[in-house]
Structure 1
Amino acid sequence: MLSNQIIKDIASQISLVSDLSDEVLIEFCIIANQRYRIGSPIISDENYDFIFLNELAKRLPNHPFLKKVEDEIKGFSEDKIKLPQKMLSTDKAYSWEEVNKWLERITKFSSEINYLLADIQIKGTAKLDGFAGYDDGNKLYTRGDGNKGSDISRVFERGLGVFNNSERGQGPGEIVVKRSYFEKYLSNHFEYPRNFQASLIKEKELDKLAIDAISAKAALFVPFNQLPHWLGGINEFRKQFLDIVSQLEGGVDFDIDGVVFEIVNPELKTHMGSNRKFHRWQIAFKENKEKAQVKVLSITAQVGRTGKITPVAELEPTQLSGATIYRATGHHYGLVKDQGLGAGSVIELTRSGLVIPKINKVLKKAEVDIPTNCPSCGHKLSWDSDFLMCLNHEKCPEQITGKIIYFFQILANNDGFGQATIQKLYAEGIRQVSDIYLLNEAKLMSMGFGEKTSHNLINQLIRSRKESIEDWRFLAAFGVQRLGMGNCENLLRNYSVEKIFDLSVKDISNIDGFAEITAELIFDGLILIKPQYEILISEGFELEQTLLNTEINQSHSPFNSKKIVFTGTMSESRAELQKQAKTFGVNVGRSVSSKTDFLIIGENVGQSKIKDAKTHQVEILTEAEYLKLLNSN
Structure 2
Amino acid sequence: MLHISKESVRSLVPAFLDDETLVAVLEALNRAYRAGDPWVSDAEYDHVWRAELEDRNPEHPFLHRVEPEPQELFSGPLVHHSQRMLSTDKAYDSDKLSRFFARCEKASVQLGWAEKPMYQVQAKLDGLSGRLYPGRVLATRGDDGRHGRNISHALERGLTIIGGVEEGAGEIVVVEDYFQSVLAPKGYEHPRNFMVGFCGADNPSADHREAAAAGVAHFVAYRTLPAPTFTAEWLLAEIDTIFAEITGACPYRTDGIVISAMGTRLRDYMGATDHHHRWQIAFKKNIEGVRAVATSVVLQTGRTGVVTPVVHIEPVQLPGATVRKASGHNAAKLEEDGIGPGAVLRIVRSGEVIPTIVGVEEPSAHPVAFTHCPSCGTELVTDGRFRRCPATNTCPAQASGGIHYFFQTLYTAKGFGKKICAALAAAEKSIPAILQMQAEDFVAIGISPGVAANLADAIATAKQTPVPAARFVAALGIPHVGEASAAKLLSVFGSIPALIDEAEPNRIASIPEFGEITGSAIAEYIEEHRAELQEMLAAGIPLATTTQSTGPLAGEVLVFTGTFSRPRPELEALAREAGATVLSSVSRKTTRLFVGEKPGETKVRKAEQLGIPQATEADFPL
Q: TM-score range by the shorter chain?
A: 0.3 to 0.5
Structure with the bigger RCO (C-alpha within 8 Å, sep 6+) is: 2
| TM-score of the pair, normalised by structure 2 | 0.47
Q: With structure 1 as the length reference, what TM-score do the two structures score?
A: 0.46
